[in-house]
Amino acid sequence: MPLPDASKKSPRVYTLLQNTDLDNVTFDNIQAVGNPIAIEEANEDEMRRLVLVNLCRLVTSGEWTGLLESGGGDPFTWQNSEEYNVASGYGGSFWNIATQSPICSNATLTTLAQYSEYQFYNPFVAPFTGAPSAVNINVTVATTSQNLYVAFYSGTNGLPATMLGYATIATDTTGIQRVTSFTEASSGSLTFTAGQMYYYSTNKAGTENPTLSASTSNGSMGQLFADQAATVNSNMVLGIQSDAVVTSAPADVAADDLWNGGAGWTARIWVWLEK
């Protein structure tokens, strides 16, 4: 049965696709057929046929390219893609998730002694889709024998909630410390989607105080959470932390497990992700 009120003859869509079944037709085929068709009333029937074929293709293959992924708009990210880095010859495969703009408005390097046994959480936008292959930190003053946990969370209502996985990094040696193994909440749970916001956290596995590379707390970070008052002396909330000491391995958190860090307590440790 033809489309309602449409002519029975299809000069382009059905003519060019007639020998291709729905299981094998691709988005590239649809795009090639549709590109020359001008958007005007005279071509309404062919545009309706093109939409119909594409929808049938999507239902058959369960692949939604061209409906959800194409059509403009970049992922919500402020770091170059891996493909651009390779093609341009600039950059590499290490993404510093602590210095993203506009979350971090000034990537001024400082060093921060980890005197606190609290767990600190900060947002970041995933620079790639998939699981990280490694994570790195920089230790400037080492411990005798202690680990640092770097964990990754998805959020609920603007707060970290579900722990996806974490890395255990020894801080008993100075310099860049790189690990390639992760403890996942469940198999495959530590997977990112480029452009989506997540949270990373850091907490010590003991009471020694390593010094790590970090972003300066005051003046370099955009405000992340609501102020307590609309005054010049309001408590700018730049990050959040656990409301109790946490030296155990990271786990899921609830909203009442968290406390705002104000302007001076934020610990935004530099963490490099590798795809």
In angstroms, the CA 182 to CA 271 distance is 14
The residue type at 184 = E
Phi then psi for 188, rounded to 5 degrees?
Answer: 80, 5
* Domain chopping of the chain, boundaries: 13-61, 88-274
The whole-number mean pLDDT for each consecutive block of 10 residues of the chain, a chain of 275 residues, reads 65 78 77 78 78 76 50 53 66 82 66 88 88 96 96 90 97 97 94 90 95 74 62 61 93 89 68 92
Q: Which CATH number fits domain 88-274: 2.60.120, 1.10.357, 1.10.3470, 2.60.40?
A: 2.60.120
**Residue 219: C-alpha distances to residues 223, 238, 240, 266, 267 (Å):** 10, 10, 16, 12, 13
The residue type at 9 = K
Radius of gyration over every alpha carbon of the chain, rounded to an integer in angstroms: 25
Q: What is the pLDDT of residue 76?
A: 55
Can you give the pTM of this predicted structure?
Answer: 0.69
In angstroms, the CA 128 to CA 191 distance is 10
Report which of 125, 166, 186 is spatially closest to residue 250, judged by C-alpha positions.
166
pLDDT tens-digit map of 117-162: 999 988 888 988 899 999 999 999 999 999 999 999 998 888 899 9
